[in-house]
């Protein structure tokens, strides 16, 4: 099993989950889907053992004056436990993501400047 790279505090641990399948890795116009798929995370309590793949985080990016700002959305990482039928289509479309209420996660945003 692959070891996840994690950040944490006393409230929550957030771990990077590398997207496991080959993909186009292209950003065109305002479409950041493959960048977003390369920055998938899971979260859990510090005392919990093992990965809770249903506790996934997807950061939806938008362009700001300071660069890209990614806001968290909830996803189920079990959705990518097997390769998608079409590798060129990002599997986490809008219908596979749910909003995360402000302040609900320790990691509230990701920025790329």
Return the structure tokens found at 38.
């390369």
The structure's pTM equals: 0.91
Q: Domain residue spans in the chain?
A: 5-112
First to last CA, the chain: 33
Residue 108 predicted with pLDDT over 90: yes
Residue 97 contacts residue 58 (beta carbons within 8 Å): yes
Averaged pLDDT score across all residues of the chain: 92
For 54-84, the pLDDT digits (tens) are: 999 999 999 999 999 999 999 999 999 999 9
Residue 92 predicted with pLDDT over 90: yes
């Amino acid at each position: 099993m692959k070891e996840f790279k994690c950040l944490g505090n006393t409230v929550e641990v957030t771990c990077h989950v590398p997207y496991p399948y080959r993909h186009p890795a292209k950003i065109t116009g305002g479409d950041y889907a493959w960048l977003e798929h390369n920055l998938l995370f899971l979260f859990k309590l510090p005392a919990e053992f093992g990965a809770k793949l249903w506790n996934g985080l997807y950061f939806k990016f938008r362009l700001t004056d300071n660069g890209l700002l990614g806001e968290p959305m909830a996803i189920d990482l079990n959705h990518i436990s097997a390769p998608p039928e079409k590798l060129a289509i990002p599997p986490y479309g809008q219908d596979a993501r749910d909003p995360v209420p402000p302040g609900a996660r320790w990691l509230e945003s990701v920025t790329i400047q």
